[in-house]
């Protein structure tokens, strides 16, 4: 059998098929696999999201220590934020005031959007509180875990 010439239509079809299969696999990994992908500029990304959606900004003392995007059809993001303890209560009061239909929820109430990151430990906060809210168009929402006596805030964002 003769080898296929490099520029033959048959060889191009093989390359196109491989390209299509590879593209479908990449789309699955980045948008449907449930894998967690870290952010490059987590503080900037979170500050931009809060500014665009809630007209808020993080306090100057805030540092985003962990942040991941979940590869799903319905986008979701997990954040761990550290700030001065004195900034936690005023910041969460601001969050509560701008969230439409904000409600306190039992922090032990189980919810899931799939696997949570290993560092996601809101139950470790003393006197943890949970605040839930929805986007203005009700196409997704926010879950905040915080304690007025701890410097860590856990924030979950999703869109449906």
pLDDT for 25 equals 65
pLDDT for 111 equals 74
Q: Which two tokens stand for residue 153?
A: 């805030």
Q: Return the exposure string of 47-81: e unless at least 16 CB atoms fall within 10 Å of the residue's CB, then b.
A: bebbeebbebebeeebebebbbbbbbeeebbbbbb
Question: Residue 73 — φ and ψ, nearest 5°?
Answer: -60, -40
Strand-pair partners of 67 = 79
pLDDT for 82 equals 97
pLDDT for 100 equals 73
Kindly state the greatest CA–CA separation across the chain: 78
Strand-pair partners of 155 = 79, 144
pLDDT for 61 equals 95
**Per-block average pLDDT, block size 10, for the chain (160 residues)?**
65 75 64 71 92 92 93 82 96 90 84 82 94 78 93 90
pLDDT for 151 equals 97
pLDDT for 83 equals 97
| pTM metric for this prediction | 0.79
Task: Look at residue 132 and give its three-state secondary structure.
Answer: strand
Helix (H) or strand (E) holding 25: helix 9-31
pLDDT for 24 equals 67
Q: Kindly report, residue by residue over 23-70, the tens digit of the pLDDT.
A: 666 665 555 566 777 888 999 999 998 998 889 999 999 999 999 988
Alpha-carbon gap, residue 69 to 14, rounded angstroms: 34
Q: How do the domains of the chain map onto residue ranges?
A: 1-31, 36-159
């Amino acid at each position: 059998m003769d080898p296929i010439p490099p520029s033959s239509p048959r060889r191009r079809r093989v390359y196109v098929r491989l390209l299509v299969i590879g593209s479908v696999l990449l789309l699955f990994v980045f948008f449907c696999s449930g894998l967690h992908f870290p952010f490059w500029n987590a503080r900037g990304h979170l500050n931009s999201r809060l500014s665009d959606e809630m007209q808020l900004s993080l306090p100057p003392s805030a540092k985003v220590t962990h942040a991941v995007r979940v590869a799903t059809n319905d986008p979701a993001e997990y954040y761990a934020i550290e700030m001065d303890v004195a900034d936690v209560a005023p910041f969460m009061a601001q969050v509560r005031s701008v969230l439409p239909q904000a409600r306190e929820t039992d922090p032990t109430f189980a919810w899931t959007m799939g696997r949570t990151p290993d560092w996601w430990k809101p139950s470790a906060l003393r006197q943890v509180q949970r605040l839930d809210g929805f986007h203005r168009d009700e196409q997704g929402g926010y879950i905040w875990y915080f304690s007025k006596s701890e410097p860590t805030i856990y924030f979950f964002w999703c869109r449906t």
